Structure 1
């Protein structure tokens, strides 16, 4: 591997103009609160991936939680179906091995497969994916051994700064014994593990339509849902990081149209739609209607609390208020958290929660290393549906008590100024304001809304809830006008 060096400008011949070189990427623009996300070839290059790999390798070696415990000897790496992913993962692996650690290369994987590998092998991990972002993007999700989260507050900032120093040529990288790369396929182990957690052998037969969105669910679903009680009709299972059919973002209603139509057309019992790295799962009922992720959170919470009475369940700030109500009714303790996987995983560990759900369709399980896995949530939905005779629409009706807007995204030039307007609007009305995550405004009669800045895009995200659709629509339109004025 060629070391990163800087050649002084005065070494160029006097009669030759120095060659122009592209500016060194600034990692502050792509290292977000809890992952890395950038445009391939501009912000995220092989050199950047290699530098981050070296910095991450040194970090996990130097930051052993207990000096008496053996330090991490390897890093597990997986990647999604984007054309750039194998190249970037290989460059990252070069950095890790140059830092003296070995690499366990999983190859193609979903994000929750990397968490599974990190948890079962007790090794730090890296997943190359930009999730639902367009094809020109890629990114890195990092975790410590046991799938423990890594955020700016817990070490990602240090990894970023060391990698930047490497790219700038201001840090000397010592020559260490190079690690080795071994390949390992854990797909079958991952599928077996999930199916041991949720037993489908006793359910009634179900017809399931799955929209993989040309993402990693096309790789994992055939292994996980290969069950005699399930008839699976697959859509867009071909792995294609250009997303030729629709974006792999099930939060956007337009991306659910195909699976909704297919469920109605074939008379399926349920539809499942996954995002690009298959760590999020959206559910469609037999009528072709999306089921709120808050309802799925409440449903899964009730199942987990039946198994572990009195346990803690987490929900995030934009979840329906039906979620804490149902957790309490099921005998559990509801704890509210910020949006974001690193925050929720840390809170899972701190509170001993058995389960946590986000309204973005991320679902976290204590028996999955406190990590998020849409696939395990899907298995819980199938078990709940197949364990009784009602259609899904009737089953989930008891978990959907209020009218919600869904998440509405608005590009803004100055998020701070808009949030300031929101606070002023709330003060004028004497409303209660909570700023655990963004600005949440609570009004009389059960109406509330949350406005928060995206961690990955220049957007403000609005969620509104009210007891009736008429009240929700009026509040939604008023706040959207305030945001977009």
Structure 2
């Protein structure tokens, strides 16, 4: 029995060829039909050149298991989330590798209510059956295949999150000018539909479209705006066209990334706080879920607006589970995943920017004005990724470094105190340093291993001290790259 390495903690993702191919996709379809109690499954796929063939092989496996297949064609992941619940189905699968390299593909699976199929919630059993191929005999009645569209219903749902009539009146004669960068992924066709419907509702809006056409060869690079080198085109276009905001998406557009009117990329951490604030102003006392990587800004906003902040491990399966448990109105990850109770607790890359343009219009401010105070109050490093042979040993090394300095009671003349240690998602440490004139400075970091890639991820934040944040980021980076004496970075 060969092991299928394409199965990850949250989804399926692997290199094309040995790790994921049409034959494996067929086996996954057969396994899904037996493990998940389904009679009809909705399928979609991103624009990667391999997605259509993988989707059709998956469909054959499902149909041989007696499952009916509804094919939406080229879609983003959230269209599958929407269709599964809208059509009251008990299964949905998106064929996508999102932001992974061009020689990868994968699948994201949901069941009744668009709940994720992951880990112990069916994914492991699907993996084991697909590996053993101990399938039941093919169904006496093969499932049928049908191409459908729910685009109109999906667009109407997206626009239900904003008050288009009020927005039209507030905007007036000057249109909202947005740079939209689909990254040659699946977002372009949805943006066209949203643009058309906003105009039908008399909302003056102008889309300046970059890399708009879906192209699985990705002529402008893999759509992953988390990579600094992939942000320049959006930033430049915002400045050139004097746009109000820039928006970029990854390949399956379940994440969106925002740029202010100056072309500056806004870290997802601050967008989480902005959206939390927007929801809590509408629903006092509601709960917001946030991930563990960067926390202080979101927690303070929730406290100030009468809401409740609940911390979760990073990853959509964990966030969605906690949102259901707490009936949370919104959940956000600094990686630009945003989750909404009214969207079946799922993540969307279209709802966030619609909410942000409404919020900015309501308050008559720019995006930079909306976040500048929060960035100053809680400066953050943004996520920094490292490929390290033994990530657990590297994390342990960082912990020992600070614990040892606590024992010595000083760090280059600065007294250091560990305020808290949290190991619920990697290693988080909150620390206080006493500097000159007994001034106390607070900072924290999170180090965690990626569940989907061979990486270790670092995030650092401070309370109102950007210099300290940069200094501590450099210090931990120095430790992680197997250097032995980080203390010479104290005075960088």
TM-score strictly above 0.5: yes
Q: Distance in 2 between matches of 1:392 and 1:171?
A: 54
1:35 to 6, 11, 27: 11
Aligned to 1:405: 381
Structure 2 gaps of 5+ residues are 407-417, 433-440, 483-492
* Residue 479 of structure 1 pairs with residue 476 of structure 2: yes
8 Å contact kept, 1:423–1:433:
no
What are the equivalent positions in structure 2 for 1:54-203 lying under 5 Å apart? 54-61=30-37, 72-123=38-89, 124-166=91-133, 170-203=134-167
Q: Distance in 1 between matches of 2:2 and 2:16?
A: 11
* Residue 209 of structure 1 pairs with residue 205 of structure 2: no
Q: Distance in 2 between matches of 1:478 and 1:195?
A: 45
Aligned to 1:443: 431
Cα deviation, 1:198-254, whole Å, max 9, x if unaligned, reads 223323131000011111111211112332321111100111122211321111111
Q: Distance in 2 between matches of 1:446 and 1:144?
A: 43
Range with bigger deviation, 153-162 or 425-434: 425-434
8 Å contact kept, 2:294–2:460:
no
Q: Return the offset for 1:171.
A: 4.7
Q: Distance in 1 between matches of 2:248 and 2:138?
A: 47
What are the equivalent positions in structure 2 for 1:16-35 lying under 5 Å apart? 26-27=3-4, 29-35=5-11
Q: 1:60/1:414 Cα in 2 relative to 1: closer, same or farther (>3 Å)? A: same
Structure 1 gaps of 5+ residues are 1-23, 62-71
Aligned to 2:333: 358
Range with bigger deviation, 276-285 or 179-188: 179-188
Q: Distance in 1 between matches of 2:343 and 2:318?
A: 16
Q: Return the offset for 1:172.
A: 4.9
Q: Return the offset for 1:26.
A: 2.3
Q: Return the offset for 1:266.
A: 0.6
Aligned to 1:416: 392
8 Å contact kept, 1:281–1:375:
yes
Q: Distance in 1 between matches of 2:194 and 2:332?
A: 21
Q: What's the secondary structure of 1:54's corresponding residue?
A: helix
* Alpha-carbon RMSD: 1.4
Q: Distance in 2 between matches of 1:421 and 1:225?
A: 51
8 Å contact kept, 2:276–2:288:
yes
Q: Distance in 1 between matches of 2:163 and 2:373?
A: 24
Q: What's the secondary structure of 2:363's corresponding residue?
A: coil
8 Å contact kept, 2:294–2:446:
no
Q: Return the offset for 1:296.
A: 1.1
Q: Distance in 1 between matches of 2:259 and 2:137?
A: 51
What are the equivalent positions in structure 2 for 1:194-273 lying under 5 Å apart? 194-203=158-167, 204=171, 205-226=175-196, 227-228=198-199, 229-273=204-248
Q: Distance in 2 between matches of 1:383 and 1:319?
A: 26
Q: 1:426/1:122 Cα in 2 relative to 1: closer, same or farther (>3 Å)? A: farther
Range with bigger deviation, 86-95 or 297-306: 297-306
8 Å contact kept, 1:357–1:364:
yes
Q: What's the secondary structure of 1:310's corresponding residue?
A: coil
Q: What's the secondary structure of 2:251's corresponding residue?
A: coil
Q: What's the secondary structure of 2:164's corresponding residue?
A: coil
Q: Return the offset for 1:478.
A: 0.8
Q: Distance in 2 between matches of 1:435 and 1:250?
A: 29
Cα deviation, 1:386-420, whole Å, max 9, x if unaligned, reads 22322221122244321111111111111121122
* Residue 379 of structure 1 pairs with residue 345 of structure 2: no
Q: Return the offset for 1:122.
A: 2.2
Q: Return the offset for 1:468.
A: 1.8
| Aligned residue pairs, count | 448
8 Å contact kept, 2:331–2:340:
yes
Structure 1 length-normalised TM: 0.90
8 Å contact kept, 1:318–1:359:
yes
Aligned to 1:463: 459
8 Å contact kept, 1:426–1:433:
no
8 Å contact kept, 1:447–1:472:
yes
Q: Distance in 2 between matches of 1:301 and 1:171?
A: 46
Aligned to 1:12: none
Q: Distance in 2 between matches of 1:172 and 1:122?
A: 26
